[in-house]
């Protein structure tokens, strides 16, 4: 069996939730879209369910799958994508965001007494959400519905950058728009939990922080380790090329090892050298990453053997820094891993 795996520390997952809880008095919604950032719904929900008030996903299929594992509220962060989706909202008792007019127009036709409506405002991100001028009219329409609850929300665009002036501008506008509303409110994402306590309100929505993909300076730990066992080592002479298109040519005699992992497993495509760890030592990849294989230059190190683990990231690595090595971000590294990478849960 191919030895390429994602190790997942449930202990670190639980610890991260506890750290988040110590940084806020608000309720916590766990954002577990994209199959819990690639870690798997079932195990993640079982681990953290008692620490959160609800869960959030993007797609209806995600929500329906997740409903098998929890009775807690599940929010569709983009709301419905077509009006008929409200039938499933009713059937599975789902919460949902409304961020545009057409999503509101036919709401009165549906039984929403088991659903919370999340009324999304645009406070400066200019992505999804109602503008300030529309607040009063839409707010009155939503209040008239017999929903389980109405929560007012928005989304910060730069919460990981404490000095970015957009944050305080958004918080100020959110307060101004919602000043007369007594409903629960939600504005803070992961970055705001640590950087903007004045944005916490009633419910904070944490995603990447739960999985230790960012904000490690606050004590968070990465939850996953990606590794693959070397399956072959060959000696290469000076002047010989490696892989597709002969993209890399050895400038001296060396040893090249091969790990059975590639872009079909979610590794970002690259054609220039990238740093990789083997047994605590750092080496460079060579040539173009393949669909199923990566070549690594061991130079003249004879200590590395077939069967040794090539570690892409580990439980002590800062994924934000590591992701720059592959010209991407930690979110993409985590969520792009394919189903053929075996998941093994620890603790």
Quick check: is 69 catalytic?
Answer: no
Planar angle of CA 90, 92, 96, nearest 5 degrees: 70
Alpha helices in the chain (DSSP H): 10-22, 33-37, 41-48, 60-66, 85-92, 101-105, 135-143, 165-177, 190-195, 319-324, 330-335
Contacts 24+ apart (CB under 8 A), 336-340: 336/38, 336/266, 336/268, 337/6, 337/38, 337/226, 337/265, 337/266, 338/264, 338/265, 338/266, 340/264, 340/265
Among the listed residues 33, 185, 214, 225, the single catalytic one is 33
Task: Determine contact, residues 12/212, Cβ cutoff 8 Å.
Answer: yes
Q: Of 148, 235, 244, 275, which residue is the catalytic one? A: 244
- Burial of residue 49, with CB atoms counted within 10 A of its CB: 0-12 exposed, 13-18 middle, 19 or more buried: middle
* CB proximity list for 45: less than 8 A, separation 6 or greater: 32, 36, 55, 66, 69, 70
33 is catalytic: yes
d(CA 201, CA 28): 11
- Return the active site residues: 33, 244
């Amino acid at each position: 069996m191919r030895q390429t795996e994602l190790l997942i520390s449930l202990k670190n997952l639980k610890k991260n939730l506890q750290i988040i809880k110590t940084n806020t008095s608000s309720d916590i919604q766990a954002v577990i879209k994209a199959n819990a950032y690639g870690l798997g719904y079932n195990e993640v929900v079982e681990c953290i369910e008692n620490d959160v008030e609800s869960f959030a996903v993007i797609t209806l299929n995600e929500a329906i799958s997740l409903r098998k594992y929890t009775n807690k509220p599940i929010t569709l962060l983009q709301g419905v994508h077509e009006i008929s989706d409200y039938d499933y909202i009713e059937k599975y008792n789902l919460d949902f965001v409304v961020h545009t007019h057409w999503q509101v127009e036919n709401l009165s036709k549906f039984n929403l007494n088991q659903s919370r409506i999340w009324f999304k405002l645009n406070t400066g991100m200019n992505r999804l959400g109602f503008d300030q001028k529309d607040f009063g009219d839409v707010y009155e329409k939503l209040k008239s519905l017999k929903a389980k609850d109405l929560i007012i929300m928005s989304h910060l665009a730069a919460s990981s950058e404490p000095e970015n002036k957009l944050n305080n501008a958004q918080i100020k506008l959110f307060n101004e728009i919602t000043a007369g509303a007594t409903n629960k409110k939600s504005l803070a994402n992961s970055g705001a939990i640590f950087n903007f306590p004045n944005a916490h309100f009633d419910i904070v929505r944490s995603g990447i922080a739960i999985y230790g993909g960012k904000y490690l300076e606050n004590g968070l730990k990465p939850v996953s380790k990606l590794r693959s066992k070397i399956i072959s080592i060959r000696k290469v002479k000076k002047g010989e090329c490696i892989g597709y298109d002969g993209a890399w040519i050895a400038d001296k005699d060396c040893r090249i090892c091969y790990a059975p992992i590639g872009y079909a497993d979610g590794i970002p495509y690259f054609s220039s050298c990238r740093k990789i760890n083997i047994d605590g030592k750092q080496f460079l990849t060579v040539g173009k990453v393949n669909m199923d294989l990566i070549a690594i230059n061991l130079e003249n190190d004879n200590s590395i053997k077939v069967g040794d683990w090539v570690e892409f990231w580990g439980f002590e690595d800062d994924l934000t820094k590591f992701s720059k090595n592959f010209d991407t971000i930690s979110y993409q590294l985590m969520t792009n891993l394919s189903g053929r990478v075996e998941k093994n849960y620890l603790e």
